[in-house]
Chain A
Amino acid sequence: MRYIPHTQAEIEQMLDAIGAPSVDAIFATVPAKFRLQRPLQIPRAASEQEVQAELAALAGRNACLETHDWFLGAGTYPHFIPSAIDALVSRAEFMTSYTPYQPEISQGTLQAVFEWQTMVCGLTGLDVSNASLYDGASAAAEAVLMAMRATRRSRVVVSGALHPHYREVVRTYLSGLEAEWVEAGRAEDGRTQDLAALLNDETACVLLQQPNFLGAVEDVRAAAALAHAHGARLAVVVTEALSLALLEAPGSLGADIACGEAQSFGVPMGIGGPHLGFLAAREELLRQLPGRLVGETVDSEGRRGFVLTLSTREQHIRRERATSNICTNQGLCLLMATIYLSLLGPRGLRRLAETNLAKAQYARRRVQGTPGLGLPLPAPTFNEFAVRVPDSGPAALGRALDQGIVGGLDLAAEAPELGPAVLVCTTELASREAIDRLVAALAGRPR
């Protein structure tokens, strides 16, 4: 086995040192009746060449950005990924290290996390960021738990325009705790309904997605004012992190917590994971943050360095009284995003967001000008929006697929009130020509 170095002579030498007659004998503390008396029933070992071929064959049976034009987003976004990212994260010193428990030999990871925390604070307009969470959905759940701890309240008001998977995950996380779940409906324009009637003095937090699942840009400022009037916290969820380059920072609009998914920042779609949950908050919530935090300090000679800090919040110290049970973060994905944002910088990121907006505006105008299609929701949007189709979502998407286009998400389950409709996302990967073909296919008029 090429991953295991031991030769037979070495094994015998080691057994001698241990004083055991055989390898089997060193398992003596496993009672014989518990020992597996047969080989595991899994496929025989294959050579490197065979495994590579087998995996390539499996991969070849998935549609992907290399095989199709792509307009499907809905929480996982197709963006271009610069080459430098994979080259750098493939450095073994990043890839094959672990949580930086020993700061003297982990400054590379620690400094990168500190840089990530700085970038998240800048993008969200908030004071403190952690070292990432599993994904956007669990970040939303952790945000709610934070708000419940901070307010010692249990009523949670969740926008019905929050990504449906996020709503499911938050509910799952809350299922073992005393929490009251209130779901706000959607207004006709695609935004979350007026929250005033749902808030009371038992409310811990409002959870609002920006832009929301249907692409609509919400009024965060108004939601913050309402939440604060009741002593509740506003948590803004962002699933398309690129929108942060264009839309006003949640913190500047009054949000107490911003969280969500930063996959758009250089992390491959990867069939949905690993992605990159982020979480930032106002200073007053610092002690309620879940997960790892990196802080600046000095070494014994006064030189700047970085360490994991405030770990008394965490499970390995606090056990059942920890702020969360989380142990790992998404270290390598965080590194991808930090490299991505370093490459783009403020102007590159803004320009990219404007490009996404321009593509979407072009597509919207094409939709409006095409018989059989329409824009059912008048609310303003960023790079994703609902399109009404003439017959049914699956039929329209099937026509797109026939043209080699993954055309979006059928909205029949999530937004039946729109009639037959699909959710379409246009990023920098969408060429004008592909948008034209998509619009024609959705309308049922092959060009």
Chain B
Amino acid sequence: MSGPPPPARASNAGNGFSYEEPLLFERSRPGRTGYSLAELDVPEVDPAQVLPEGSVRAELPGLPELSEVDVVRHFTRLSTWNAAVDLGLYPLGSCTMKYNPKLNEKVARLPGFASAHPLQPPALLQGFLELAHQLEGALAEVSGMDRVSLQPAAGAQGELAGIMMIRAYHEHRGERRHKVLIPESAHGTNPASAALNGYQVIPIASGDDGVLHPDAVAAVMSDDVAALMITNPNTLGLFEEHIARIAEIVHARGGLVYGDGANLNALLGIARPGDLGIDVMHFNLHKTFSTPHGGGGPGAGPVGVKNVLAPHLPVPVIRRLEGSEGQGYGLDYDFPLSIGRLHGNFGNVGMFVRAFAYLRSLGPEGLRRCAEMAVLNANYLLARLRGRFHVPFDRPVMHECVLSDRSLAGTGVTTLDVAKRLIDYGYHPPTVYFPLIVHGALMIEPTESEGLEGLDRFADALLAVGEEAQRDPELVKRAPHHTRRSRLDETRAARRPILRWQPER
């Protein structure tokens, strides 16, 4: 930035075309509206005449009065404050921020998908039911599972469904088990989903090589363990090479193996969780299958199972009709051992449409190519960064690589500082401080969407920040310098929470 900014009152923006934008409520002007309604074609009704006394509200606080122009400018300006995949590399580890194809957005908006109703008769919903049935089949084939339910609304709800099915399985066999084994490197949703099922969580440490070892599992496996939850590749980006032996150990004592599918992108067409001993897993359509992350959601978290768990799938089940039932697809509720319903309707159907379009666009070769290029990219970044940054588990990786903060020792610069400084170079930072087992972790997942020159620029940026940390640590510690907001005071936000706008009193 150079030169003084123009006087605030005359300026449209904070800095050239970088727009400051107040809250909606501060923009509000009494009398404005951004909506038009057709003239009423039925008689007017006074609400007080037809609703019980005291049940009609007098005012609607918390809503602004704005024209359509005001609203469009407000949100367009807000959008310019966000980083995004369409702007550049977004290497958030474990989130698989791949490109979200535009075709998918177009087909999801077709009226037959966007403005149809979940409770309309199945005969009027055959296009959706066929799509869902085909998508279930494709996900089952990709994962090596026998059956898939699309219903869970996100990965965490898929986990919840999976652990519920495991509990239902044990209970149906007359067993009451109390424990779930979870590696220390797991996502936080794993233990939280187990706890929601009333299970006690038993953490297991990974070996010095970053992967889980059969003896560590055998040491804690017992008849009281309902399941092992495992992420493969794990959150260090490493393939759990002992997975089949570990699954045998769990199965031998009557337990089941849950697979967290967050990192499935690395395995597409390469290996299938179902062939490795996994009994139940979830998919993240918003990671592996390219549906947009939308600033935090909506996601979609279908769950796949082996036949042994199929009786416990959520209802309704989408089924191809047979014989005298006629043609097409129907909804089946007749599963007495089902865990029940997890979603008010069928799940996040709009995401099914996008994922289906993605699968149709890629086909078997394209899917495998995703995994190959995602893994090539992660290993290339590792090759570029190794030596300058400490790599705690220095082995060939799958879709992501994890660095520690050891190379920053003595500089006073932290992983968070490095992340913030990367923003000045135009990059969304990698995931930081996760997995918990790596000190000051920087977890980098480039995905297959980035080409060679993009990776080189990112590696150059990270290396430059590494040098700055040695040469001018204060520069890094005060970053970011070129964003419209500098570092935000999160402690203050938590200590005295202000969670909504209120008029000045």
Contact = CB atoms under 8 A, between A and B. Distances in A.
8 contacts: A45-B364, A122-B62, A173-B196, A273-B298, A286-B499, A319-B188, A361-B45, A380-B51
Contacts of B490: 103, 297, 307, 309
A54 B163 CA distance: 36
Interface string B460-490: 0000000000000000001010011111111
A62 to B, nearest CB: 4
A59 B63 contact: no
A153 to B, nearest CB: 17
Contacts of A51: 103, 107, 357, 360-361
B65 A55 contact: no
By Cβ-Cβ distance, the 3 closest A-B pairs, closest first, are A122-B62, A272-B345, A59-B112
A338 B119 CA distance: 26
A268 interface: yes
Interface stretch (A29-37, A199-207, A228-236): A29-37
A350 interface: yes
A135 B111 CA distance: 21
Contacts of A428: 37-38
Choose among B120, B238, B300, B382 the residue with the greatest number of A CB atoms under 10 Å from its CB. Answer: B120
Contact of A94 (B79, B116, B351): B79
Contacts of B489: 297-300
A61 interface: yes
A255 interface: no
Contacts of B130: 58, 61
A40 B451 contact: no
Interface in A344-365: 344-352, 354-355, 357-359, 361-362
B157 interface: yes
A119 interface: yes
Given A104-B488, A109-B296, A5 B501 contact: no
Contacts, number: 692
A57 B350 CA distance: 16
Interface stretch (A10-18, A367-375, A438-446): A10-18
Given A332-B295, A343-B34, A134 B494 contact: no
B373 A62 contact: no
**Band of interface residues on B:** 35 or more
Given A42-B138, A175-B340, A286-B497, A52 B103 contact: yes
B424 to A, nearest CB: 10
Given A64-B114, A316-B189, A329-B297, 4 more contacts: A93-B83, A293-B499, A327-B154, A346-B60
Interface string A107-130: 111011111011111110000110
A368 B47 CA distance: 19
Interface stretch (B1-9, B269-277, B303-311, B404-412): B269-277
A166 B156 contact: no
B429 interface: yes
B241 interface: yes
A5 B51 contact: no
B118 A272 contact: yes
B279 interface: no
A52 B497 contact: no
B369 to A, nearest CB: 6
Given A42-B141, A169-B344, A175-B164, A333 B156 contact: no
A335 interface: yes
Contacts of A317: 188
B127 interface: yes
A66 B428 contact: no
A382 B21 CA distance: 37
Given A119-B62, A169-B343, A315-B188, A27 B375 contact: yes
A72 B115 CA distance: 12
A350 B429 CA distance: 44
A166 B299 CA distance: 20
Contacts of A172: 164, 314, 339-342
A341 B376 CA distance: 46
B76 interface: yes
